[in-house]
Amino acid sequence: MKYWVAIDIGASGGRHILGYMKDGKMCTEEIYRFSNGLKEKNGKLCWDIDEIFKHILKGLAKCKEIDKIPESVGIDTWGVDFVLLDKEGRMIGDAVGYRDNRTKGMDNEVYGIISEEELYRRTGIQKQIFNTIYQLMAIKKESPELPESAERLLMIPEYLNYLLTGKCMSEYTNATTTQLVNCETGEWDTDIIRKLGYPEKIFGKLNMPGSEVGMFTEEIREKVGFNSKVVLAATHDTASAVMAVPADKEGAVYISSGTWSLMGTEILKADNSAESRLMNFTNEGGYDRRFRYLKNIMGLWMIQSVRKEIAADKDFGEICEMAAKANISSIVDCNDIRFLAPKSMTEEIKLSCRESGQQVPEGIAEIANVIYNSLAESYIKCLKEIEERRGETYSGEIHVVGGGSKAEYLNKLLAEKSGHIVKAGPSEATAIGNITALMIADGVIPDLSSARKIIESSFEIKTYLP
């Protein structure tokens, strides 16, 4: 039996998922899981890269322990965040996270050099104040010595690959989240980089998912007990998740539902028009040079935060059931920046309802009801805007993949309110997409279209009727 390992790391945790083929179906097995989160360090919200990497090694050692040695390993994480390396390959500064407020006002700094309109026309990327382009401007303003002494910029999964192999390799899908990649050429936009005064040398050649990074270093081999190769997955987690959308036709509408809700469709040419910019769509890079034409919606981050604050003793399934029984009609704008990193999500939702003259929710059931209904409304609005931009009406299914596909109440709301069939699953879409890239690279699956058919027949997909 041949195995492949996806190391899928999100904002709240990571896991090692073994993948293999059996009787024509793709099978997965979780072998290790760990917690993750931002920590305050030197006045910033940072990722503990050392701790994350310790868990990566523990998970890999588990493969040896259960005698399931992978053919290759792929890592995916969230986008936009990065580290800088010096000439000796050592990390400079901290791995500051996207929820830190250091980018406040950095959009104005960037637009004083290159306009928002031109930036979108060149990159096709939606403005998010935490995009790498603004993070780099914050560093340039606060600590100019850091980029000046840097030799290489690596996105978080690329740096973790580097720690495993000793080799620096940049990957296309994650690079597009920087807002520094030209959507026409698929390469770094050196004109933007020069104008902003960022050192060109730190941006390495972009490689596509499926490219081999290298074998484990001798030190890593000794620590985990075996040797394997590291292969580039679609290292941006949403790019991996979209690979696992079990659609039977091109251009289906999907929602990658997790901490964020990413709703969109796949297109072959970026829509970097002024109209698309004003609607706040993004054209992120996908597998095989496709584009993920989507919107970032705040997502289950709101539920995760509220649960932590007032209902830590309840699981998400219980909260869903409670929300379904609550009687409240208030909704909030899930895309309002006020919900990005509030001191209290619960109080911020209450305040938003109070300010808009709506009933103020009390308790976990009503607050969850407001969040789920608000998300459903956001999805429906986004669907209409996709239809407007693509010039067609989507009469088919909406595919919900990722952990949020288990939110029964939200799926039912979406089906009822949109009038569309909602197909939910697979829930482990990101890891499955990661494994898919590894299997295609090894020739086990011929292409993405074939992989999606295999995924549809291999994993649980629930159907919700309007």
Beta strands in 258-332 (DSSP E): 261-267, 282-285, 291-297
In the chain, what is the straight-line distance between the N-terminal and C-terminal CA atoms, in Å?
A: 42
**Which string of DSSP letters, residue by residue, matches 173-202?**
HHHGGGT-B-TTTSSB-HHHHHHHT--GGG
Strand-pair partners of 29: 18
Q: How far apart are CA 212 and CA 215, in angstroms?
A: 9
Please return the burial class of 355, using the count of CB atoms within 10 Å of its CB with bins 0-12, 13-18 and 19+.
Answer: exposed
Q: Is 173 helix (H, G, I), strand (E, B) or coil?
A: helix
> How do strand 397-401 and strand 253-257 relate by DSSP bridges?
parallel
Q: How far apart are CA 34 and CA 32, in angstroms?
A: 7
List 237, 288, 315, 333, catalytic entry? 237
Q: Is 270 helix (H, G, I), strand (E, B) or coil?
A: coil
Catalytic, 237? Answer yes
Q: Is the peptide bond before 246 cis (omega within 30 degrees of 0)?
A: no
Closest CA to 171 of 126, 139, 121, 209: 209
**C-alpha angle 438-38-437 in degrees, rounded to nearest 5:** 10
Which positions are annotated as active-site residues? 237
